[in-house]
Amino acid sequence: MDYKELKKTDCKKYIEKKGQFNYLSWPFMVDMLRINAPDATIHARTNQDGLPYFKDESGGLVETYIMVGSQEVWNEWLPIMDFKNKALKNPDAMDINKAIQRCKAKCISEYTGIGLYIYMGEDLPDAEQDISKPAVKLMTREQSDK
């Protein structure tokens, strides 16, 4: 798998829209993982009770991770959210399932580079993009305190 090459993948015809948000569907991303890293698998992490989510009074989170052979190579967390990307304090099974699927897509994107530009707010991949510079200018603590 060549991250730099896969990052250049044009996913424009696979982008779906829900509300104001663009995304790549989880079946597309699982397919891309299996095509480009056939020995990789993706899983949802379970809590101490064997359930595929973590919850406290503020809401819930899911975690997915990619395994290559017996080694975990990547993981990603995602809040359990509604269709407006607002955290849900009392998610049901369908909310948890949707969050796991979205988390899978994001995890695969981060691991392979496929569609990563969508999370950066770009329309198309840039073959010459300098990933050493952040897409968003971060403030220092002093700047945020002003």
CA 134 to chain centre: 18
Q: pLDDT tens, 67-118?
A: 999 999 999 999 999 888 889 999 999 999 999 999 999 999 999 999 988 8
pTM value > 0.95: no
- Residue 15: which residues within 8 A CB-CB, separation 6 or more? 22, 23, 24, 118
Query: For the chain, what percent of residues have pLDDT higher than 70?
Result: 82
Total length of the chain: 146
Instruction: Give yes or no for a contact between 105 and 2, defined as CB atoms under 8 angstroms apart.
Output: no
What pLDDT is attached to residue 125? 52
In Å, what is the CA distance from 12 to each residue of 15, 48, 125?
5, 39, 9
User: pLDDT at residue 41 above 90?
Assistant: yes
Q: What angle do CA 120, 123, 126 make, to 5 degrees?
A: 80
With H, G, I as helix, E, B as strand and everything else as coil, classify residue 93.
Answer: helix
